[in-house]
Amino acid sequence: MTKKSQNIILYIDGENLKHYIKKVAKKHDKKNAIEKFEFSNMFSSALGSIIPTYKRYYSAKLRFHQDSPKKSNELIQNQRSLKSKLENQGFIFTIGGNVRGQKVNINGKTKTIFKEKGVDVKIAVDMVSETCDKKVNTIVLCSSDSDLQPAVNEVKKREVEIIYLGFESQPNKGLIYTCDRSILIRDDEIIKAIKK
């Protein structure tokens, strides 16, 4: 009788992760953290003996915005560069949702700001569908989005282990409570992953 293979899938909310990396980098006066970041090193350090079979990095689709051509081009180029970097480090770059430009009034001036929508929905759908299709034994969820709690509950009902991978500087108490166990990425693990 052959032993059933263990599939461990790491689901990463990309914008959420980038936000925390930038926040920690700023606190430690590190510039251009994302461009220099070794994602594999940080995840290996934080997860220790847990070795994901697949590492999925979720990001939103970027579109050119006519009201802000310079910023649009910059965001699109940055995403292409990040996608290439992640794929070279063994990650699967997955598009879910969109980044939309919204006009807002700030101090009497109209500005266009960009907001991501729908990535959490794509992560939730993939977690539940892969659980139902018996494609995963353990889920490692790197996100601090409480909207994922219903999906976490559906996964647990089907007896798939789910590990919350959060950040020591700002853990999500709801996901800590909902998931089977938690691992918190330390600030020093983030700093060590920024190449000199």
Topology classification of domain 8-192: Rossmann fold (3.40.50)
In the chain, where are the structural domains located? 8-192
Helices 149-157 and 119-132: crossing angle in degrees, nearest 10, is: 0
Res 36: pLDDT = 86
- pLDDT, the chain, mean: 88
> Model confidence over 141-181: pLDDT tens digits?
999 899 999 999 999 999 999 999 999 989 999 999 999 99
What's the pLDDT tens digit per position in 91-123? 999 998 776 666 677 788 776 666 667 799 999
Is residue 53 within 8 Å of 11, Cβ to Cβ? no
- pLDDT per residue as tens digits for the range 21-40: 999 999 988 888 888 899 99
Closest C-alpha to 125, from 104, 105, 148: 148
This prediction's pTM: 0.88
